[in-house]
Structure formats: structure tokens, C-alpha cells
Structure 1
């Protein structure tokens, strides 16, 4: 044996000493308030409060079986999903990604807004519609019925639900599942949907935020009407005018060559609210490289995750800002999730490229509902987005590419 018996004995003693030191350090950390569960699976009782605003549905995907874990404030319900199989999910997700890619290629060619012609071909829309119907049949209807959200909701008192998908399902627009030409047979007709990367993330977002610095209740607008290698976004100016009108002097604008990576990262520290009107890109193989295209390059998920903010609301009126990775879908590494994790409690984002007119329309509707007297009420964002998307859906039920992409993450 190299080193002999004496060296071996020394190595064993050293390892045992390090193990004891490790155990002592872990105990010290667990003695700190808030770290009692350090390096331990969280206790169920500590996670249940995440569902105090409504049920959280964790969709578990496995090659053995798939289930929905419905986390309520006082209990967890298990709903078997016999129609949901991992191999079928993988095939559906691949087809969905192919369809989305086709849509984005068409949109980025700068084809006109004619939704019944080249941009939104019947084949693309039919494939998206088929995916939405499959999700309804495979799991969404069964879950909503279990929760007794069985009828079409009306009025102002809509129930809330949080989706926490796992595996390949993280890539799909679960909030839009359904048969949209049959009233009441769609998630949009029964509940207001939000997403959360994890139960713990939602629990943290529900905590009372620390006091924000004086003067930080301001809007940061980041706009790129023209980006090299990308189609122009003429409605950036419309969104900027909208926010200028609503916030006045409390809106800081970084537009064009003023929207640099450093300027944006600096501005995020001093503003509780942020709005990005620019192109986004997603790298499904390496989602941490995805981000927003600003004047001097890409503002990536990694860039945004490098510091903590005390933000209340972020609106990502860009492309592909809520899509995770295809190889590691459970990581849920998206620009929306990155902003959420780093301190922005509410994030509105898009799953894929959106038409400029629809992006501006949804933004106008959302801000019209959540801004009162120059003050943004972030807690109303999910409901506002829900109604804005329903309005688009009701006008264009046969073109899901127009209204499906918009998502809300947060409490």
C-alpha cells in the first residue's frame, strides 16, 4: 500500500476529524433562525403556507406513473393521472417545440400581421390547438374537477391556482389548456393561473418584503426599437408613451444606445418596477445563456442572477423569456424565474415570440388595471393579465399563437 500503514491510519483519522467538523458546522448553521432545515428535506408543514392564496399543483412526471400533488393550505391531495405518460409527454413537447420554432421563423421574417395568411398558418395553429386540447384531456380537467372548479367562472371573484410543473411539462403553456371553442372547457374559463418554479420560491415570495429604499417606487423602462439582426419593434415607442403617461417623472427610460447592460443592471437596483420592451433569446441547451437583447449585447439569466433586488414587479414584453431548458427542464432556468428568484415578486413574461401589436395591447390592458394614481399595485398583476389574455382569446379563439404565450410568475 502506498505510504504504508502509518499513512493510512493518518488519513483515516483526518477524515474522521473532518467529518466531525462538518457535523459541528451544520449544527451551527441549523441553530441560526430560518436555517433549521439546512441540508434537510423541508418539512411539509413549513411548505403548506405557500398555498394560502390558492392551491399549488405540482405535476410529477415519471416513467412509472404521473400524478398531480395538489398542495392546499392544510393538506396535500394526490390525483392519479393515468392518461399522462412520460413517453407521450416527450413526444408532445417535441412537437410543440417544432411548432413554436415554425411560428418564430415566420414571425421573424417580418411577414405582415395578417393572421389568417402566412404568419399563422392553419397547420401551426391546429398543432398548437391540439396540444392545448391534449393537456386538458390528460390532466387539466381532472385536476380542476378535483378542486371543484368545474364550472365557468364569471364576475370578479375568480379562483387562483399556481402551476408547478416538472420534467418536460415545464415547457408547455398549461395555463392555456382546453377546448377554446367550447365555453367552460378551458383553464382560462375556470381559474386565474400563475406559475412558480418551486413551493419554496412561492413561499418566499409571499413573505412580507423588506422596506424598499426611499424613492425606489419608480418604473424602469428598457426599450430596443431596433436591434441588429432582429426585426424592428415599432410599438416600443407606444409602450414607452404608455408608461410615461402613467408614471410621469417616476419613469426612467433607457432606450436604444442608452440601454446598455451596465445601465440596465444599475437601474434595476434603484427601481421597484421594470418593463422590458425588447427582443429576447433562449438557449434551450444552456438556458442560463438566454436573455434580453440590449444595445451592447445580451443581458443573460446569469447576469441578472448575480445580485439581489427588492423589486415588486417586472414586465418582460420580449420574446422567449419564460422558456426553460430542454435537457434540464426541471431546473426552470428562465429569465422570468431568474428575476423572480433575485427579488422581483411578480413577473409577467412570454413563452415565445409575440406579435408586436398584441404585446402592446396586453401591456396596455395590464397597466390600465394595476396602475392607480401613478402607483403600481403588483398584487393585481395575475388577474389583470388573465383578463387581458381572455380578451385576446375571445377575439381570436382559432389562433392560439396570439394569446397563449403570456404568463405570470409570483404570488
Structure 2
């Protein structure tokens, strides 16, 4: 161990002679921590692990590169959790706070996602540790702070600034101008290093853009500090505390947010008026259960629908009714314990008014149809599926549903009277979708009392659709959608001359957006490597301002699209007496449409795969 002692002595001497604020100090302390850790693995002496944790903690608290500080904080937290529980929650808290600096606004959105992806398991560990200590308030705060980081950053840049405009209008103007510029730079495409003389001018321009982007991010940080020094603005755009989150929840129902960890699975139930989240340990469910169900969904169901009958029949021998199995497992192991904890009645009155429930899943749960949990087929009776109890929606974060509900309450009670319809029965390079013509025609007929603009087939170009989205508060897309697994931000809607990508949509600010109906494939199917960032088209629509989105979790059956759309819009127009479209009733409209389709198809395995993928997100 002499070489380790020598290394430790050298690191300690270097640290002793370096300035406290030197940028290299965290790196030296990280190396010192590593040396002490290696020594502890041989000596098993408590003094060595304490010195190791101490070095990491000093590195995390020092000035320097956020990535090195985050590495120090993570090591300190994990080691303290294993060897010395004192202050481990402080270590976790610092690490989670540093995530937003590692994936800072000076980076493009693509790069921020790359930087975030390796830290997902650590965040789950932090939350699991907080729950094991009984710190449910902290667990909720970390769930909000550590997930959907990029969406939250985009939302911050689009903050309406009502209070700031009222009290300090010049600061609000500066913030708005900076935010617009930062958004523009954030959505640019990363370029690689120069590869030839011919590409040099283009690459030099890209480097200039990177420098300008970095300067803007620094200016933004300085402005934030300045605003937070103003009276009563000390918490401006800071992560919200638990009591603020709970006091801001909509009164129509509860939010259920999950944490899935290798050692435990938990749900937190949140309702307006609560002092603390209701902690619901999911004792009969595990991370391996979640992953197993996700794989069944992907292979036995999604693979079956896209890879032919012969391959499908081989899979079905092992599990002849995979969708029924998934929904039954979710019902027994996840949903029933939650309903019991929330004291929902065992005996239900058919037709009674139902409250709303927002699902906020994490990890592998993000790919499972929680909204359809239940027992179906010949064993079904009223009260054996979640839709008998509540009207379900999804939300990427608790913050999102709080903000969407607040916008709905603050906006004019008048209902929307302008709807953009986009149809693509024939898309170049793709098979035809003949039912989209029926779908669009039906929606036009139902909404004849309000203004609609139709862009279909050759008229539905990327440029035209983008332009019209800016001035229409509702948009209905009946066309192909695709989830790009290699580059999730390139996921999007397939139009006449190309793909309208999530990244392109994020570049624009739509006037008073209310609802987007994505009657297209895979519009709310996320990326498995970024499951806690919820990177899919439907979540992107929420991020750019839509209050609600209708999306699909996987490929849908083209022939049933018209039925869903018809029932959905008929419900809304009946509710308003032909007075317009009310986005706050969209979840109820989809619930009704789903019931109509389900009743017409019964509860066969094929029927479940047809209606289950439709979901509502937002308020």
C-alpha cells in the first residue's frame, strides 16, 4: 500500500498549495478521493472511507467544472449511503442540483440529453434513499428536479413572467429577449469538427455560433442572479419546494408519480390540500417486473404487429394473450394498491361522476399503459379496471400539470373556434392511409360551426403546416408519425415533403396553443435510454405550450382512427352546444371515445391492442 500512501501524500500536498477558487481543485480532490477509496478497499479501515468521502465532498463544494463537481457529489452520496448515513441526503441534493449545470443552457438540446442520460439510475437511487429515510417531501422535490430537465429548461425560457412584468418590466424585457435567443441557439444542430478545406467556412461559422451561445448562457445566469436579488423574487425559476407544489395542484383529482429502483418501487400520491405526499410502497412490484412487462409489450405485441403472422404465432404460444396479461399485472400490482391507499370505494355506482387522475411514470413504467390497467374479457365486471374509477391523463412532471391547469384557469372562458386539420392519405415513400380521408371528413362535418383550415396531401408540406400551427390553437394530425430511436428529437409527423420534427416544432412559439390531436403512430412512445426525460412528440407539444395532447403509445390501426376522432369531437361539440372546443374536457372526450370503441369491439386481445394506445397528456 506504499504507492497509495505516496499518491495520497502527493495529492494532499498539491491541494494544500493551490488556491481555494482554482478551477483544477475539484479534479485534484476527486483523484484524492479515488486514492483513499482504493486504500479502503484493501485496508477496510473506517478512517480511509471517511477521508475518501471527505475529499469527494470538498470537491463537490469547490468552484470548478460542473461535470467534475457532479462526479465528486455522486461518489460522496453513494459511499455515504453505504458506509456513513450522516449527511448523505445533502450529498444527493447537491448532485441533483449540479445536473442542471452539467446539462446547461450553453449546450444544444441534443448534447444536454447526451449529458443527462448516464445519471438516470443515480437519481432513482437518491429518491429511493430519501424514501428509506421517510423524507417524502424531499423525494418529491428530487423527482421533479431530476427528471425532464430539458423540458423544464424550455418551460423556464417560455415563462409568462406576469409578476416580473408587473413589478420590474425592464428585467422582464431583458429576460424575454435573452430567452428567445437562447432557444434559437439551443435548437441548432451540432456540427462535427472540420474535415476538409471546403467545409472550413461552415465550421468556423458553427464555432462562432457556439461562442455566442456560451456568452448568452453566461449573460442569462447573471440576469437570473440579478432578478433573484430583487424584493420577493429570491425563488424566481428555482426548483419548487414540496409545499408549493402541493398547494398549486388542480382540485379535480390526484397526481401519481413513481420511482422505480432496483431495491424498491414506490408511488407518491399528490392531491390539493395535502400537507405531505402520500407514500405508497409497491411491495409486490419490482424494477425487474417493470422491465419484463416492457419487453413483453415490445416483443409479443409491438413486434407482432409489425413483423408478420408467422413470427407472431411463435410468440403467442408462450403467452397467448400478452396485452391482457400486462393490463392484469399492472392492475393487481400497481393500480389496486394505489386505489386502496387513496380510499376509493370498493362498490361503485355505474354512471357516477369520476375524478381525474394524472399518471407520472418513470423508467420502464413510462412505456406501460397504466391508464388501461384492469381485468378484461369474460372475467370483467364493473370495478375491475381503472377507467371505472377515474378519467386518466399523463403528465411528464407534476409541474407540467400544475402550470397547464393554471393557464386554463387564467385564460378566457370562451372556447376555441379555430382548428387546423392536417391529413396525409398518401405520403411519398409510405403506404397509403385511406381511412385518414374519412377521419378528416368526419371531423370537418362535426366542427362545421367553427373555423377549420384543411391541409391535406400535396398541401400538407412542412412549411405550410408550421406556418398555420402558429395561428391555430387546435391542431389535428391524421398521418404517419415516427419515433426516431437513434435521435429522439428527430421524431415527428410525416408530411408531403418531409418530416415535421420535434426539434422544428420547438423552434416556434404558437399563439395560445390549446390542444394537439396526434392521430398518428408512436406519438407518445419515448426513448428507452431517455425514459425519464420523456422525449417524444406528444411531450414536445406540451413543452411548446399546448395545454393538452392526444397521442398514441404505439402503432394504431388505421381503420379505427375515424371512430376515435368522430366520438371525440362529437362529445366536445355536444358539451359546448356547438359553441366551440374546450380543451379542459379533452380527457373526458377521449375517455368517452375509448368506451365507444371498446364497446363496439368487445374485450378480445386484438381489441385491447386497438384501443389501449390512445392517451391524453396534460390538463
TM-score using structure 1 length:
0.86
Aligned to 1:74: 273
Structure 2 matches for 1:290-301, cutoff 5 A? 290-301=491-502
Aligned to 1:187: 386
Structure 2 matches for 1:1-400, cutoff 5 A? 12=22, 26-31=224-229, 36-38=234-236, 40-48=238-246, 49-75=248-274, 76-105=277-306, 126-149=321-344, 150-152=346-348, 154-155=350-351, 157-181=353-377, 182-183=380-381, 184-208=383-407, 217-248=417-448, 250-309=451-510, 310-371=512-573, 372-373=577-578, 375-394=580-599, 395-399=601-605, 400=608
Aligned to 1:410: 618
Contact 2:294/2:367, CA 8 A, preserved across alignment: yes
Runs of 4+ in 1 over 6 A off after TM superposition: 8-11, 15-19, 21-24, 32-35, 120-125
Contact 1:59/1:66, CA 8 A, preserved across alignment: yes
SS at match of 1:299: strand
SS at match of 1:283: coil
Aligned to 2:87: none
Gaps of 5+ in 1: 1-7, 112-116
**Cα distance, 1:30 vs. partner?**
2.4
Distance in 1 of aligned mates of 2:273 and 2:612:
32
Change (3 A) 1:313 1:122: farther
**Cα distance, 1:38 vs. partner?**
4.7
Distance in 1 of aligned mates of 2:438 and 2:538:
23
Distance in 1 of aligned mates of 2:504 and 2:300:
30
Contact 2:416/2:581, CA 8 A, preserved across alignment: no
Change (3 A) 1:337 1:17: closer
**Cα distance, 1:24 vs. partner?**
6.8
SS at match of 1:222: strand
Change (3 A) 1:10 1:241: same
Q: Which has the larger radius of gyration?
A: 2
Comparing 362-371 with 151-160, greater Cα deviation is found at: 151-160
Gaps of 5+ in 2: 1-17, 24-61, 67-218
Distance in 1 of aligned mates of 2:454 and 2:233:
40
- Residues 337-366 of structure 1 show CA distances to partners (whole Å, capped at 9, x for unaligned) of 111111111111111111122111011001
TM-score using structure 2 length:
0.59
Report how many aligned residue pairs link the two structures: 394
**Cα distance, 1:104 vs. partner?**
3.4
- Residues 358-382 of structure 1 show CA distances to partners (whole Å, capped at 9, x for unaligned) of 1110110010001242511211111
SS at match of 1:178: coil
Change (3 A) 1:39 1:374: closer
Aligned-residue Cα RMSD (Å) equals 3.3
Change (3 A) 1:179 1:217: same
Contact 1:275/1:315, CA 8 A, preserved across alignment: yes
Distance in 2 of aligned mates of 1:16 and 1:405:
48
Between structures 1 and 2, the one with greater strand share: 1
Change (3 A) 1:17 1:235: closer
Comparing 264-273 with 391-400, greater Cα deviation is found at: 391-400
Distance in 2 of aligned mates of 1:188 and 1:195:
14
Comparing 58-67 with 123-132, greater Cα deviation is found at: 123-132
Contact 1:104/1:352, CA 8 A, preserved across alignment: no
SS at match of 2:565: helix
Distance in 2 of aligned mates of 1:298 and 1:17:
41
Between structures 1 and 2, the one with greater helix share: 2
